[in-house]
Amino acid sequence: MAFDTPLTSEETRRYARHLVLKGFGGAAQQKLKAARVLVVGAGGLGSPAIAYLAAAGVGHLSIVDPDTVSLSNLQRQVVHTTAAIGTGKAASAGAFAGALNPHVGLDLHAEAITKANADHLIVHADIILDGTDNLVTRRIVAAACEQLGKPLVSGAVSMFSGQVTVFAPHLGGPAHAALYPDAASDDALPSCEANGILGPVTGVIGTLMAMEAIKLATGVGTPLVGRLLVYDAREASFSELGY
């Protein structure tokens, strides 16, 4: 990444609260502007992550999602509107991000990520966020990230709780299989469709995912590598587990 791309005068005004933030400032903002982030899934977790990454000034966002917006999505997938029902989620999320911040470059992919295309979609990204809802896709994304040496921010939610972590074996952290062994299957995991999800829980976890991506892009703070942060909405509590 080239970190010496100057901010325009409009960007300087837009990101003013970042620029005066001690421990962040112009150097970190330029790193954000140079960053290329791929978000897999523009649903409950991808929505807040996309919104905050675009607002923060990530230079380039790629969004991958094969689905279309449905009415039942709108309780939690906040980048989509009632008018977007029936349109592709990637296009809808891209329209939101572009309207929020025209300085963000966008690549929109209305397709599922598979073993055949994962490397192609991931190779040009600096950081990958996975907010998908099944282990098959998560394993495909994780395997490609591990092979290509890319950090992976992973979030998951169910009912009243959620969790977020960062997989970065190339930085010395544990692999995806350390948390989700090969024997684990979707049948053993609670389904949002079957069990429900309280909308703001996805906002909490998706925003934490955006924060982890910003930390990785800028070098500010300590990412959740090898640490699983768990949120319980009913108790308003966070706990952290090592793995």
Letter for the amino acid at 172? Answer: G
- Is residue 145 part of the annotated active site? The answer reads no
Distance of alpha carbon 109 from alpha carbon 195, whole angstroms: 29
Residue labelled with tokens 């098959």: 136
**Would you say 108 and 94 are in contact if contact means Cβ atoms under 8 Å apart?**
yes
- Please state, as a whole number, how many other Cβ atoms lie within 10 Å of the Cβ of residue 148: 15
Letter for the amino acid at 195? Answer: N
Among 192, 205, 209, 210, the one annotated catalytic: 192
Which parts of the chain fold into alpha helices (H)? Answer: 9-14, 16-19, 25-34, 46-56, 89-100, 118-122, 135-148, 192-195, 199-218
Pick from 125, 130, 155: nearest CA to 141: 130
Tokens of 236: 């308003």
User: Which residues are CB-neighbours of 155 under 8 A, at least 6 positions away?
Assistant: 45, 49, 129, 130, 131, 162, 163, 164, 205, 206, 208, 209
**Would you say 58 and 35 are in contact if contact means Cβ atoms under 8 Å apart?**
yes
C-alpha angle 238/241/243, rounded to 5°? 155
Catalytically active residues, by annotation: 192
